[in-house]
């Protein structure tokens, strides 16, 4: 029997996610992230993963000029910046078959909030976030407790 932590990433990854192209403007990304309560967005060009942009990247971009701007100018500034200027290029990736144990190690070791999931051809097929890993661990712990209770 396979351990729950040795299940493949495909068991927890989000198959539906929002991505953005590198030439999009940060004001658009900011709006999408706020509306969707999203913290990470894969950046793709012609269907290929080229980076990840996070809320932290947006904050850093805005703070780099924050002292010079009042709040109403923030959006104007973000409109002038392309995603490619602030994204993390060439992010760590996993495949759908990568064990969750290894994905969790990568998240912890490299202090990243998400791992894009790519297939053998390098196409983006999913996204695994630290929240997905926590949800999987919690649900696993809850299921184990229920199994233990039923066995007693």
Average pLDDT over residues 94-103: 96
Percentage of residues in the chain with pLDDT exceeding 90? Answer: 61
Which is more confidently placed, 151 or 84?
84
- 31: domain CATH number is 3.10.580.10
Quick check: 14 and 129 in contact, CB under 8 A? Answer: yes
Residue 130 structural domain: 4-151
Q: Considering its fold, how many domains does the chain have in total?
A: 1
CA atoms lying within 13 Å on the CB side of residue 72: 0
Residue with tokens 């912890």: 108
pLDDT, tens digit (0-9, with 9 covering 90-100), for 56-93: 888 887 775 555 666 667 777 788 889 999 999 999 99
């Amino acid at each position: 029997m396979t351990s729950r932590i040795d299940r493949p990433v495909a068991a927890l990854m989000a198959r539906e996610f929002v991505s953005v192209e590198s030439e999009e403007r940060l004001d658009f990304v900011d709006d999408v992230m706020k509306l969707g309560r999203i913290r990470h967005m894969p950046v793709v060009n012609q269907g290929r993963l080229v980076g990840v942009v996070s809320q932290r990247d947006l904050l850093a971009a805005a703070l780099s000029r924050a002292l010079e701007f009042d709040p109403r100018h923030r959006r104007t500034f973000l409109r002038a910046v392309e995603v490619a200027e602030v994204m993390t290029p060439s992010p760590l990736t996993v495949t759908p078959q990568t064990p969750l144990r290894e994905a969790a190690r990568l998240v912890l070791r490299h202090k990243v909030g998400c791992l894009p999931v790519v297939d053998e051809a390098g196409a983006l097929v999913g996204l695994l976030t630290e929240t997905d890993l926590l949800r999987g661990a919690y649900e696993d712990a809850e299921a184990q407790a229920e199994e233990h209770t039923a066995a007693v």
